[in-house]
Each structure stands twice: as structure tokens, then as C-alpha cells.
Amino acid sequence: MAIHITKSKLFDEEKGNLKENAIHYFPCKINFEGSANVSRYFTNLITKNGDENNGLTASFRGYPLNGCIVSLPEGYKGLILKETVKPVSGTERTFHVTHTFQSLTYWNWDKIPSKDDAFLSALDWTDIAEAIHSPVQDLNKEKIVCNSSTTDPDSTKAEH
């Protein structure tokens, strides 16, 4: 099964960029699809801790949340995708980009976010992947210097 991601013809790059901190990553699944008055019932109640980590506190349905603002790694952009056709098993799927973002607010239940969290440590893998997949200089092509004389591994000298 193939998955296609397309930028909608109606997507406007300037209008499609979400305001800073408009995306919230919660440590739970919410079984609801649709609009919600998030600004009235959630974002207006977020407070800053004032600590060196710029931590945030809030609550969701009475449960305490601790959070922090996470910027995506340089060169990466978050996408909000929408699927307009219900998927049928085994068929190709097409998603359309509706919005983009550069940062998000990451939340934990009653625990301060740390690099030990799976989500935050996963962001470190972008640096590791870049290092692993970047071109490696071929050491066999470099000239080797031995005892003040230069030897080129590509040169061949026939001795008689």
C-alpha cells in the first residue's frame, strides 16, 4: 500500500504556518474528531513555572500536566495532514497538507518533561540519522604520508 502526501492547491504557505505553540502533544488518546474551544478551556489556563527550563503547567480534565515548548530540529518542518477519502484496506492513500509548524508544546502527566521521555529522545535521532547517512570521505583515496615521503595508493609502479 502506498501513501502519498500532497500540498493542496489551496494551501497558502503564509496562512498555513501555525502560530507558535499552537500544537500540543498530550500523553493520551482523545477519542474525538472535530473542533473544540481549546483557547477558552485550555490554553488560557496554561501558566509558566518561571524555572530555568521555561516549564509550563496546566490541567486536562482535572489531571495535572507539566510541559515545555519544543522546537523542531533545524531543517525539519511539522505537517498537519488531512485525508479526504476514507481508506479502504490495501488501497493507496492520499493525505493533503493543511498546516505546518516549527514548534509544539509537549506535555507529561504530573512529571516534568526530560530527555528520558521517548518523544523528546526521538528528536535526537534526527542528528544521529544525519551523521550516519552523510557522505563519508574515502580514506583509500587520500595520500598517505610515511617517513617524510608521500605515497599515493592509486599509483602503481611496476618493479622489474
pLDDT, averaged in runs of 10, over the chain (160 residues):
75 64 83 83 84 82 90 89 84 87 90 89 86 74 54 50
Q: Which domains does the chain have, with CATH numbers?
A: 3-113 (2.40.128.680)
The confidence score (pLDDT) of residue 108 equals 92
Strand-pair partners of 68: 106
How many Å apart are CA 52 and CA 40, to the nearest integer? Answer: 28
Q: How many CA atoms lie within 13 A of 14 on its CB side?
A: 0
CA dihedral in degrees (96, 99, 102, 108; nearest 10)? -90
The confidence score (pLDDT) of residue 105 equals 92
For residue 22, the 8-state DSSP code is -
How many Å apart are CA 135 and CA 36, to the nearest integer? Answer: 47
The confidence score (pLDDT) of residue 160 equals 46
Residue type, 54: N
The confidence score (pLDDT) of residue 14 equals 62
